[in-house]
């Protein structure tokens, strides 16, 4: 064991000195205010048994040899006592083995050991201090940690700003392409991918831009077969108010117009709100098609049996937040049904990219056959929806762009969606501020190195 005394102007400097001299495993045994600053006694390889032996040896030699002018034996022995019994030292640093007794919060990293005082003297080595916990508890270190985190953030911001301006000089065409793609609302990762694929050619920017849009359209997952026109049992799921019931009415009306009203029926599983039944019943009355209510799995099977002569049965479900615990209940009702139910997720394009990602992740629990995009007429950005479909390889079947039944529903077309994304971005003229660009670019840099 090595014991050392330090003098410093304040605690923070003192701790730094201890760390530099003895390393991160050092243990502070005592500290006290002295004229001009603070005195810290610290040790490395702290071992109480060994210290006791050293204590008696030091005491004997000091009694024999203390020269004039040196600290008195009493002074030194007082220090040694404080070192060998840290808990009794003046303003002693709180020994970490004591901490769990004071705190209500469990600390999983701390082994459950009895308090130091209750241990017999021979067992002392087992009470070795856990330096990692001790250092992490120090408020000064916590503050330093936070300051370092802030500094890191600032540095990353500066670096991404530099990287962006470097790219703008090195490859202005690619930089402009990234800026335009970000303005569509696409994710930084997707922008980077497109820029790498098409942004290095020698054509003028208009050509590069056309290529980029064509690249996006060619990779957009689509369900172009007008899949509902073939009939079957189809459930629409999704978050609250995204347009599930309205879309069901549009799809039912469309089918009825083509194949006859007697070929289509509706079921609602929204047992949570009376108004939901009423909304679907009203559409049923207007379209003159049957509507059934099924609040349980059994009722759903029964309703499907009763409507077995229909070619297309559309199931309207209760709108639920992606964080709603009842979501699984609804999923199991659809998944466990004996009938082969195809499930489509209804996504409102007015939802932000992060929100869309969260919804898709939550609703993936039920096997999704595709999705339907709604509210294209209201959205201020379509990039989030495009990125979400691509990231999740979720095919889009229909797009809805208004409240009119049945006019405002269309089979999804990739070029229409991409062109619309450009149009919406132009209309809302979402010119990106330099700070947003830096932020997005830092995401790309992180992606590239991740």
Q: By the criterion CB under 6 A, which residues form the site for ligand GTP?
A: 238, 240-246, 276, 319, 374-375, 377-378, 400-403, 408
Among candidate residues 243, 244, 241, 238, the one with its CA nearest the CA of residue 368: 238
For position 247 contacting Mg ion by CB under 5 A, the verdict is no
Q: Which of 201-209, 213-221, 240-248, 292-300 is the region at the interface with Mg ion (rule: CB under 5 A)?
A: 240-248
Residue 246: name its binding partner from ligand GTP, Mg ion, none (Cβ under 5 to 8 Å by kind): ligand GTP
CB of 243 to ligand GTP, least distance (A): 3
For position 245 contacting Mg ion by CB under 5 A, the verdict is yes
Burial class (CB in 10 A: 0-12, 13-18, 19+), 242: buried
Q: Which is nearer to ligand GTP, 134 or 408 (CB)?
A: 408
Q: Which is nearer to ligand GTP, 245 or 442 (CB)?
A: 245
CB of 316 to ligand GTP, least distance (A): 7
When CB distances to Mg ion are compared, the closest residue is 245
Residue 243: name its binding partner from ligand GTP, Mg ion, none (Cβ under 5 to 8 Å by kind): ligand GTP
Please state, as a whole number, how many other Cβ atoms lie within 10 Å of the Cβ of residue 84. 18
Residue 375: name its binding partner from Mg ion, ligand GTP, none (Cβ under 5 to 8 Å by kind): ligand GTP
Contacts of 163 (CB under 8 A, 6+ apart): 441, 442, 445
CB of 400 to ligand GTP, least distance (A): 4
Q: Which is nearer to Mg ion, 245 or 374 (CB)?
A: 245
Instruction: Tell me how far apart the alpha carbons of residues 244 and 345 are, in angstroms, rounded to a whole number.
Output: 9
For position 348 contacting Mg ion by CB under 5 A, the verdict is no
Instruction: Tell me how far apart the alpha carbons of residues 407 and 110 are, in angstroms, rounded to a whole number.
Output: 66
Instruction: Tell me how far apart the alpha carbons of residues 223 and 226 are, in angstroms, rounded to a whole number.
Output: 7
Plot region of 243 (φ>0 → left; ψ -120 to 50 → alpha; else → beta): left
Plot region of 193 (φ>0 → left; ψ -120 to 50 → alpha; else → beta): alpha
Could you tell me the two tokens for 163?
A: 């990287």
Q: Which is nearer to ligand GTP, 30 or 350 (CB)?
A: 350
410 contacts 250 by C-beta, under 8 angstroms: no
Residue 402: name its binding partner from Mg ion, ligand GTP, none (Cβ under 5 to 8 Å by kind): ligand GTP
CB of 246 to ligand GTP, least distance (A): 3
Q: Which is nearer to Mg ion, 89 or 267 (CB)?
A: 267
Could you tell me the two tokens for 117?
A: 């005082």
The residues that touch Mg ion, with contacts defined as CB under 5 A, are 244-245
């Amino acid at each position: 064991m090595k014991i050392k005394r330090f003098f410093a102007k304040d605690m923070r400097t003192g701790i730094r000195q201890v760390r530099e001299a003895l390393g991160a495993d050092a243990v502070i045994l005592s500290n006290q205010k002295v004229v001009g600053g603070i005195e810290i006694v610290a040790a490395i390889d702290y071992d109480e048994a060994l210290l006791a032996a050293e204590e008696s040896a030091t005491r004997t030699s000091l009694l024999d040899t203390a020269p004039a002018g040196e600290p008195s034996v009493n002074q030194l022995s007082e220090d040694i006592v404080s070192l060998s019994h840290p808990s009794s030292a003046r303003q002693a640093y709180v020994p970490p083995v004591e901490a769990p007794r004071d705190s209500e919060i469990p600390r999983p990293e701390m082994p459950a050991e009895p308090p130091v005082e209750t241990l017999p003297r021979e067992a002392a080595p087992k009470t070795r201090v856990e330096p990692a916990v001790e250092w992490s508890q120090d408020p000064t270190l916590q503050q330093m940690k936070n300051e370092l985190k802030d500094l890191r953030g600032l540095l990353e911001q500066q670096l991404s700003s530099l990287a962006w301006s470097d790219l703008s000089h090195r490859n202005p065409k690619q930089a402009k392409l990234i800026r335009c793609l970000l303005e569509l609302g696409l994710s930084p990762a997707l922008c980077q991918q497109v820029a790498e694929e098409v942004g290095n050619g020698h054509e003028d920017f208009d050509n590069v831009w056309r290529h980029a849009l064509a690249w996006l359209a060619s990779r957009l997952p689509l369900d172009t077969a007008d899949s509902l026109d073939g009939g079957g049992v189809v459930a629409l799921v999704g978050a609250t108010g995204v347009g599930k019931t309205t879309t069901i009415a549009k799809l039912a009306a469309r089918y009825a117009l083509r194949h006859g009203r007697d070929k289509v029926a509706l079921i609602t599983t929204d047992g949570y709100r009376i108004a939901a039944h009423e909304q679907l019943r009203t559409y049923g009355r207007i379209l003159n098609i049957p509507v059934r209510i099924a609040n349980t799995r059994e009722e759903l099977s029964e309703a499907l049996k009763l409507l077995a002569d229909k070619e297309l049965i559309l199931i309207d479900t209760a709108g639920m937040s992606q964080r709603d615990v009842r979501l699984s209940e609804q999923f199991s009702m659809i998944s466990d049904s004996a009938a082969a139910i195809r499930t489509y997720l209804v996504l409102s394009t007015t939802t932000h990219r992060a929100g869309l990602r969260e919804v898709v992740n939550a609703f993936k629990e039920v096997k999704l056959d595709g999705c339907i995009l709604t509210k294209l007429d209201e959205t201020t950005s379509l990039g989030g929806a495009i990125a979400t479909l691509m990231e999740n390889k979720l095919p889009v079947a229909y797009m809805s762009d208004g409240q009119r039944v049945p006019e405002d529903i269309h089979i999804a077309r990739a070029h229409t969606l991409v062109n619309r994304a450009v149009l919406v971005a132009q209309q809302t003229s979402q010119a990106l501020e330099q700070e947003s660009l830096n932020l997005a670019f830092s995401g790309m840099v992180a992606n590239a190195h991740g």
